[in-house]
Amino acid sequence: AGFAVTRSGDSVSVDPVNCSVVRMLRDDDPLVEERQQQLRRRRQRIGEYPRSYPIEDVVSNWPPNTITVPPRHFASLCRFDFSDARQRADADRLRRRELPFVVHNVPAADATAAKWSTPGVLAKILSKSKRYRAERSDDNHFMYYASPGTGGSLRSGRPRGWKPPTSDVAMTFPEWLDHARQSYNATVLDPHYYFRVSPPDVQPEDVPLFERPRRDEPPSLFVVDAAASKGVHCRFGAAGIVAEAHYDGSRNFVAELGGPPDHPNSGRRRYVLADPYECDHAYLLPRGHPSGRHSAVDWSRPVDLDKYPDFPKLRVFETILEPGDVLYIPHFWIHYIVSLGTNYQCNSRSGRNTVGTDALKMCGFL
């Protein structure tokens, strides 16, 4: 037990985080059934992992459009030292129970973060002249949407008056980095750019953390279902960028892999998370909407309680990722992301689970 402190030492959790309970979990305990029951009871229980808090407490303490880290934040995730065999086993126990956590001191992640944070290295790896897909928003908020022809999300058509929240632009890495540098002096109403590198331009060997283990190697904590892996996808964020709350369609390991050393808050992101049974309070856009599975509520602004009366019931928690940190986001867990500075992040999804499926069905999905 103890208070979670950011690796930079600038913020402490409001509550002590007790990760010793993880070792009380027996390896032969039922997994999926146990988690389903625990999550269903979450709203009536106090102190279970991870501890959650009213959304209004979290965003009033730290407004989402603010990149300055407050002295205290609502952190309740276990942080495990990957170099410690006992703590690796603890992380694996939580992973098999489909619970989120953070690991640090991961050699493969630390090596990539150190390499990519070295000035000039990424420009060489990505080529100074090659143009990549980037997303442009008229403000600092980004919401994914399904384009025509991408399948199920658009089966019901676009709502009347709907417009794409972002547009795609082609941009070199140095061009994006220049925009990222300028973002520190931008307002939330200025254009922002989210840089993307996806297969085939990035492969697991470029981010060894996500390489599939060989047959003679032990299973990887970070590649849960190698056969269902969707490869490595990287998104580079600039200070102040907000990725709106949503859930993903598969398990997700997220690695924070550094940033330019001369940029403030370099390599840091804030994640605000909620379990699947909070989907009704999050007001997720429905199936058939281009941005289905994303929250219809702007968490950074005063909420229209006539339109979203149950939003104050939403319970969340948060964590701050720093270079080399790896976050596990289980299937269906809602997450809201704020770039605190210029940062390089890559993730790998691998397979699905059934924990939370009844919640998503209740909310009109699946």
Residue 182 CB neighbour total at 10 angstroms: 15
**Taking a C-beta distance cutoff of 8 angstroms, is the pair 332, 360 a contact?**
yes
Give Cα 139 distance to the centre of its chain.
20
Strands 141-142 and 269-274, sheet pairing: unpaired
Q: What is the DSSP letter of 324?
A: T
292 touches 247 (CB < 8 A): no
**Tell me, what DSSP letter sits at residue 61?**
H
What mean pLDDT value characterizes the chain?
Answer: 89
For the stretch 7-16, pLDDT in tens is 889 999 998 8
Residue 210, pLDDT > 80, answer: yes
**Nearest-angstrom CA–CA distance, 320 and 62:** 12
Rounded Cα distance between 209 and 225, Å, is: 14
User: Given a cut of 80, is residue 35 above it in pLDDT?
Assistant: no
Cα angle 160-164-168, degrees, rounded to a multiple of 5: 160
Cis status of the peptide bond prior to 50, with omega within 30 of 0: yes
Rounded CA separation 292/126 (Å)? 32
Neighbours of 357 (CB within 10 A): 17
- Residue-wise pLDDT for 244-276, tens only, equals 999 998 999 999 999 999 999 999 999 999 999
Residue % of the chain over a pLDDT of 70: 90
Q: Residue 46: its pLDDT value, please?
A: 41
> Is it the case that residue 154 has pLDDT exceeding 50?
no
User: Is a pLDDT exceeding 60 seen at residue 29?
Assistant: no
Q: What is the pLDDT of residue 37?
A: 57
